[in-house]
Amino acid sequence: MTPWQFHFLGYPIHVNQPWMLLWLLLLITLSLWSMRNALQRLQKASTLAAPHLLKTLVPGLSKTQPFYQTLFSFLGLGFFIVALSQPQCGNQTEIVKRRGVDIVLAIDVSKSMLAQDVLPSRLERAKLEFFHLIEQLKGDRIAIVVFSNSAFVQCPLTSDYGAVQLFLNSIRVDSFPPGPTHIGAALKLSAKLLADAGTGSKSRVVVLLSDGEDLLGEMESGIRELKATGAQVLAVGIGSEIGEPIPKYDATGNIVGYIKDAQDKTVISRLNKQLLENIANATGGEFFYEPMGVAANLVGARIDAMQKEEFESRVSVRYGEMFQPFAALGILFLLSGMFLPPSSRRAP
């Protein structure tokens, strides 16, 4: 159950565990049942004798003390339940400033990313690199661009890292129809995303994860547009230079063969380190390749060293814990109920 937020007497109230308040319904039901039983007992006692004889036969019988004992006990339990719901009161406002870097994660989802020269596949390894990178970021805004023979925005710029991870987890190779890989389209779309950020961070980065196979060779215009935004490309190579055939899968996920070219020869996909290095160097960035490790740690350190710009300021309410007074009232009423006898007996 999501926390409750509301205003009471002009103060913002936040209840962290509102599901605990459901116990109040059971408590109210039990208290009404207990009071009903107490009243029934009094009515039965009054039918045993005339009112002027009842005080003699049952000395010290009280009509109010059982009611108050039940009331105090249930009030004490009720205040304890409210305390367990973790109520908080906003007692201070402050201006929160967010500083960071605008980052576009550009991931290759072409068929060559199904190659298994890195396990479980190039694509899954690329996603793993991004997950590690997101865990290192603090306050930065992130967008995701996926590309193959074209490119589209999988996730716009956001600081909601949970949403970014959900979008990242949903990336599949079959997002595009078959066709040649077009890295230039990814660079152009990334440049447009960063340019449209408006008052975003002045430090801008495109983290490009790919095997470097660009079959269209139209990167120059994309590089120019990225340089115009002041963005750097941090390229991460995925795959091996030796090469690996590209598997084909059936509907159940089993390998049923390998992709072949027009001459019926098995296609071998290789990492093109030189192309990725050229893209990174042209934008003042850096190329990373860790075949036996995780390059995300190095990429995260490079981003962390960049100048962090303020791109968001908002007023935030600081909440203080308020369970203490409810717990104190609960103890007070419980003790009152315990030390209040149901009736005061007098010696005959």
Q: Which pLDDT does position 94 carry in this prediction?
A: 59
Tens digit of each residue's pLDDT (9 = 90 or more) over 285-323: 999 999 888 899 999 999 988 866 555 555 556 677 888
What pTM was estimated for this model as a whole? 0.63
Enumerate helices (H) and strands (E) in the chain, giving the number of each.
10, 14
Tens digit of each residue's pLDDT (9 = 90 or more) over 127-185: 999 999 999 888 788 999 999 988 999 999 988 899 999 999 999 887 777 777 889 99
Residue 186 pLDDT > 70:
yes
Compute φ and ψ for 159, nearest 5 degrees. Answer: -105, 10
CB-count exposure of residue 148 (10 Å: 0-12, 13-18, 19+): buried
- What DSSP string describes 190-251? HHHHHHTT-SS-S-EEEEEEE----SS---HHHHHHHHHHTEEEEEEE-S-SS-EE-EEE-T
Which tokens sit at 150? 């074209």
